[in-house]
Amino acid sequence: MVSVEFHQQCMRLALREAERAAEAGEVPTGCVIVRPSQHSIEVSPRVLARAHNQTEMLKDPTAHAEILAITQAAAALGDWRLTDTILYVTKEPCAMCAGAIVLARVPLVVWGLSDPKRGGHSVFSILNHEGLNHRPEIVAGVLETECREMFQAFFREKRGLKEELK
């Protein structure tokens, strides 16, 4: 069983990645994928991947934090199956990312901010669709306030810049 404190510790790592995205003008989504210690999950996770959105920088619509982190984690493990991992992301994965999570066999997905308008789970039920062969466990709302504040500040600033240019 993973403690709330462990989830918060790992989500803070994802929030740092989200800050990097915001600083680069990207939507502030950050993701980390960890592999818990075999001896005790509470000791220290092995961070397999850290990523943030890079769609603008790479001019690539698939360069979401989760996709980039899944690619890194697969390379680190030498296997596309990310069993025995936990994926932490600041905002609920979109449909594309949720599909990649299912295909990668990630057993546990933890996010901060749910996305009831575009979420791959909230709207499309991809992460728990009974027709799929893998359905990860989900923990939502970890450090939700911090994740929400980061998103709101980012978009407030973007709107403010647009207003100044008028």
User: Does 69 have pLDDT greater than 90?
Assistant: yes
Question: Is the whole-model pTM more than 0.75?
Answer: yes
Q: In Å, how far are 28, 40, 84, 108, 160 from 1, measured between CA atoms?
A: 29, 10, 13, 11, 44
Q: Which of 5, 66, 92, 157 is catalytic?
A: 66
**pLDDT for the residue 96:** 98
- 135-161 in b/e burial notation, b at 16+ Cβ within 10 A? ebeebeebbeebbeebbeebeeeeeee
Per-residue confidence band for 75, with pLDDT thresholds at 50, 70 and 90: very high
**pLDDT for the residue 40:** 53
Helix and strand element counts for the chain (H, E): 5, 5
pLDDT digits over 3-60, tens only? Answer: 999 999 999 999 999 999 999 999 999 999 999 875 555 557 789 999 999 999 999 9
**pLDDT for the residue 161:** 64
CA–CA gap between residue 107 and residue 30 (Å, rounded) = 19
**pLDDT for the residue 39:** 55
Per-residue confidence band for 163, with pLDDT thresholds at 50, 70 and 90: low
Give catalytic status of residue 66 as yes or no: yes
pLDDT digits over 101-156, tens only? Answer: 999 999 999 999 999 999 999 999 999 999 999 999 999 999 999 999 999 999 99
